[in-house]
């Protein structure tokens, strides 16, 4: 699930978001979505599948780590479920933007400028919701890797790297809400360690598994 989620997220970012969204230019983004409506829909479906997979991952991690501290493992599970719920809200907002863009009734109700402005608002809200998603990803993952560190199921140095990576990711949504300009500056620094770590830990758990000690 770790590998599936992170690889799917990277593919959607590279081949859907990067191809369609033009930052600061709503009209260009709208035209891109109109010209590539099927691609935009594929991105929405992929996101929906990804957030359903997050629940499976969270449940699996809970099952592994509840023997270490059941309450903390349950809290981490709930935070990851909030992440998945917010992710579904982001998908819904994307569907609303698409309905406004392609619906014939809306074409006669709103002018082109009004529709573009509303679609731009929906897309901005979608981006803001994804910031909240990252906040809850970070909270849940911090707890899970704290429990991994405490348990010794994986090497403690690996669990420590996970804690540091998700601490960095946790910083970004908070900074971005307080200062969007600063958030844009530090975005890659906060994202990249967690992305690389999730790829690594996915391969590690798949190949090495965990060491259960009595």
Task: Let me know the angle formed at the C-alpha of 27 by 25 and 29, rounded to the nearest 5 degrees.
Answer: 70
What residue has token string 């911090």? 142
In this predicted structure, what is the pLDDT of residue 161? 97
15 DSSP assignment: I
pLDDT value for 115 = 85
Tens-binned pLDDT, residue by residue, of the chain (214 aa): 999 999 999 999 999 998 998 887 888 988 899 899 999 999 999 999 999 999 999 999 999 999 999 999 999 999 999 999 999 999 999 999 999 888 777 777 788 888 888 988 999 999 999 999 999 999 999 999 999 999 999 999 999 999 999 999 999 999 999 999 998 899 999 999 999 999 999 999 999 988 776 4
The helix (H) or strand (E) run that includes residue 93 is helix 70-102
Query: Does 17 map to a domain?
Result: yes
Would residue 58 count as lying in a domain? yes
Q: Check residue 105 and give its pLDDT.
A: 77
Whether residue 77 contacts residue 61, with contact meaning beta carbons closer than 8 Å, is answered with yes
- Quick one: pLDDT at residue 213? 63
Domain-located, residue 213: no
> What residues make up the domain containing 89?
2-207
| Token pair listed for 90 | 């982001």
Tokens of 143: 């707890």
Tell me whether residue 212 is in a domain. Answer: no
Q: Is residue 25 classed as helix, strand or coil in its secondary structure?
A: coil
Q: Which residue has the tokens 């910031």?
A: 131
Q: What is the pLDDT of residue 27?
A: 84
Side-chain-side CA neighbours of residue 20 (13 Å): 24
Write the DSSP assignment of 30-76 as a string of letters. HHHHHHTHHHHHHHHHHHHHHHHHHHHHHHHHHHHHTTT-HHHHHHH
What domain count does the chain have?
1
């Amino acid at each position: 699930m770790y590998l599936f989620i992170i690889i799917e997220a990277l593919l959607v970012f590279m081949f859907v978001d990067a191809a369609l969204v033009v930052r600061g230019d709503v009209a260009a983004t709208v035209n891109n979505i109109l010209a590539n409506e099927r691609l935009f829909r594929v991105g929405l479906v992929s996101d929906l599948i990804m957030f359903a997979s997050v629940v499976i991952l969270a449940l699996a991690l809970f099952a592994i780590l509840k023997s270490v501290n059941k309450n903390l493992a349950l809290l981490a599970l709930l935070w990851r479920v909030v992440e998945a719920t917010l992710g579904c809200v982001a998908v819904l907002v994307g569907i609303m933007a698409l309905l406004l863009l392609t619906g014939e009734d809306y074409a006669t109700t709103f002018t082109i400028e009004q529709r573009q402005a509303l679609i731009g608002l929906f897309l901005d809200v979608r981006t803001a919701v994804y910031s909240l998603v990252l906040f809850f990803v970070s909270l849940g993952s911090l707890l899970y890797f704290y429990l991994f560190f405490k348990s010794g199921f994986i090497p403690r140095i690996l669990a420590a790297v996970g804690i540091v990576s998700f601490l960095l990711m946790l910083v970004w949504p908070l900074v971005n809400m307080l200062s969007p300009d600063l958030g844009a500056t530090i975005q890659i620094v906060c994202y990249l360690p967690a992305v690389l770590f999730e790829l690594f830990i996915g391969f590690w758990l798949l190949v090495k598994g965990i060491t259960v000690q009595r």
